[in-house]
Amino acid sequence: MKKACFGLLVLLGWLCLVASTPAYAAKPVVAIVGFQSRVSDTNVNIEQDEMLGIPVGVLYTELNDPAFPFEVKDLSDATTQHRMEEIRLFNDLGNGRIDPALQKKADFLIYGYLTNISSIKAQSGALGLKGKDKTVDLELSMRVVDAHTGRVVFIATADSRRKSELKYNAILTRNDSGEDDAVQKALSIAATNLAAKFKKAA
Amino acid sequence: MGRKLAFLCGLITFMFSLVATPAEAGFLQQAEGDRVMLAEVQSYGDYELKPAFFQTLADKLAQLLSEQKVPLVYCDSADMTNENGRHSTGNASGTDETLSRIHMDAIVRGHQFNYGFAAAKLIRYADAVVGRKHFYDDAAVKVWREHPAQLYHLTPAVQEQAQQVAKQNGAKYLLFVNDKDVDVRLKHTMFATRTERETRGKKMKASLDYYIVNTETGNVYEGHCDNKKTAQMLNLAIVQTGKGMSVDEMLNQVMEAQANDVAKDFCQNGFPAVKS
């Protein structure tokens, strides 16, 4: 009788555990709100709005890993308008008001930024032996905000450099260019590095 | 029977405690020690950059300090540039205004305050606190730079406010950064390659001060760094050499160097000094 009582109580305990544990308690949800440009002027000739989708995709793919202790969501389409009023959003969160677009959708929000994109020219050589190149230098940063308190809890930055043009003339002549490809690759690498830093911290 | 019952109760309590404890992310488990709040990254000099640059400098600095295991916290308004407080004329929210006041107090009580290169808001504050008799003393600054770990005190009333803000945010120390001067000069030499405006030869100089406030003692450590960056493409007769870049790229590289210098000095000199 005593053993049966003991067994029943243990079973009850486990039932309580399984039935009352909310999903987020096991795996908090982290949502990617999107990337925004802080760059006001650049000598790289591309559409910034179009390319800001690239790091969102890379970050989502990298973080959507069974070993990562968060469930990952991409809210970038739904929250474009809210990104425009980011400081108001932060202040609301800080004052305990959650934006309706984010209500109960996540425990942590990832805000991404393009903080630098520019082209660096370099030249060297003499007479017939000379070379010129252009390098795309790009930097991203990421802030993770607790969606319940509005407090920033994690910050990371990552940069990447890719050659966009290469010209040299030394016995052989070479003339390569591809700024769009260089920017896309640099964005992917920087976003992958951001994801790696976040995974390491999580 | 009593022991078994106690064991059972313990077991059930343990299970309920598991239920009540949400999974905690690794980055929420702060490095041990009294926390430092990154309070304001701004310019109180007579030149200003766009807020986006200060946000980026704050990001770079936060990352470097976190890598050094400094237990950082951030203000709950999430705007580390404190634009509201910096540009308010007394109508910003309580914390924004207070952070700006603490930063200004740390500047005017510090070793390098110079009326000639200060923002209008800082000049008004200095008039009220240190008065027009204050003057910038080159000799005193030279002596201080040889012994930078000399601490000084905040105004007592401001220290009380600093204590309150720090307590609200779970911190003991406040970190303020004053990126007070960025200067760009175009370079002209007869050998310079004729390129477009963005990549013409130029030289950038930047000066930054930073302040660590121990809110319990009111002691302040003042740090300083100067950084330079030059870019120019040259055609010297038959030889070509050099690099060309935009002002934004130079500024990004200078800010990287500033963040590195601040993080290094913070860990080696500033933080140990205010802790003791």
Report DSSP letters for B159-225, one per residue.
HHHHHHHHHHTT-SEEEEEEEEEEEEEE---TTB----GGGS-EEEEEEEEEEEEETTT-EEEEEEE
B127 assigned to some structural domain: yes
- Check: CB of residue B63 under 8 Å from CB of residue A113: no
Residue pairs between chains A and B whose CB atoms are closer than 8 Å: 154
- Flag whether pLDDT at A195 surpasses 90: yes
- Flag whether pLDDT at A88 surpasses 80: no
ipTM over 0.90: no
B28 assigned to some structural domain: no
Closest Cβ–Cβ partner in B15, B22, B233 for A17: B15
- Find chain B residues with C-beta within 8 A of A202's C-beta: 25-27
B161 assigned to some structural domain: yes
Chain B from 63 to 102: CB within 8 A of any A CB: 63, 66, 73-74, 76-80, 83
B30 assigned to some structural domain: no
Average confidence (pLDDT) over A33-42:
83
B31 assigned to some structural domain: no
B13 assigned to some structural domain: no
B86 assigned to some structural domain: yes
Write the pLDDT tens digit of every residue in B129-179: 988 888 888 888 888 888 878 899 999 999 999 999 999 889 999 999 999
Of A37-51, A159-173, B232-246, minimum mean pLDDT range: A37-51
Amino acid identity, residue B151?
A: L
- Check: CB of residue B203 under 8 Å from CB of residue B229: yes
Closest CA to A199 of A25, A65, A26: A65
Write the pLDDT tens digit of every residue in B86-98: 888 766 568 889 9
- Nearest CA-CA distance, residue A153 and chain B, Å: 7
- Check: CB of residue B139 under 8 Å from CB of residue B2: no
**Phi-psi domain of B166 (left: phi exceeds 0; alpha: psi -120 through 50; beta: other):** alpha
Displacement of CA A60 from its chain's centroid (Å): 8
| Collapsed DSSP state (helix, strand, coil) of residue B131 | coil
Q: Record the tokens describing residue B80, joined without a space.
A: 């580390």
- Flag whether pLDDT at B108 surpasses 90: yes
Task: Give residue B46's domain range.
Answer: 36-275
Quickly state the pLDDT bin for A79 (edges 50, 70, 90). Answer: low
Q: Is A7 near chain B, with CB under 8 Å?
A: no
Write the pLDDT tens digit of every residue in B167-194: 988 999 999 999 999 998 887 766 666 5
Average confidence (pLDDT) over A53-80:
85
- Check: CB of residue A165 under 8 Å from CB of residue A194: no
pLDDT of residue A18: 45
**Number of domain units in chain B:** 1
Quickly state the pLDDT bin for A116 (edges 50, 70, 90). Answer: very high
- Find chain B residues with C-beta within 8 A of A127's C-beta: 238
pLDDT of residue A33: 83
- Flag whether pLDDT at B232 surpasses 50: yes
- Flag whether pLDDT at B55 surpasses 70: yes
Distance CA B178, CA B119 (A): 11
Write the pLDDT tens digit of every residue in A131-140: 888 999 999 9
pLDDT of residue A169: 80
Closest CA to B82 of B58, B106, B66: B58
Q: Record the tokens describing residue A177, joined without a space.
A: 């260019």
Distance CA B145, CA A12 (A): 69
Residue of A nearest to B23 (CA): A25
Quickly state the pLDDT bin for B125 (edges 50, 70, 90). Answer: very high
B108 assigned to some structural domain: yes
Closest Cβ–Cβ partner in A25, A39, A130 for B248: A39
Q: Is A21 near chain B, with CB under 8 Å?
A: yes
Give the residue with greater pLDDT, A97 vs B53. B53
Q: Is A39 near chain B, with CB under 8 Å?
A: yes
Write the pLDDT tens digit of every residue in B236-271: 778 888 888 888 899 999 999 999 999 999 999 999
- Flag whether pLDDT at A27 surpasses 90: no
Q: Is A16 near chain B, with CB under 8 Å?
A: yes
pLDDT of residue A20: 45
Tell if the CB–CB gap between A113 and B55 is shorter than 8 Å: yes
Chain A from 97 to 116: CB within 8 A of any B CB: 108, 113, 115-116
Q: Using alpha carbons, list the distances in angstroms from residue B201 to A5, A151, A163, B250.
A: 85, 42, 21, 11
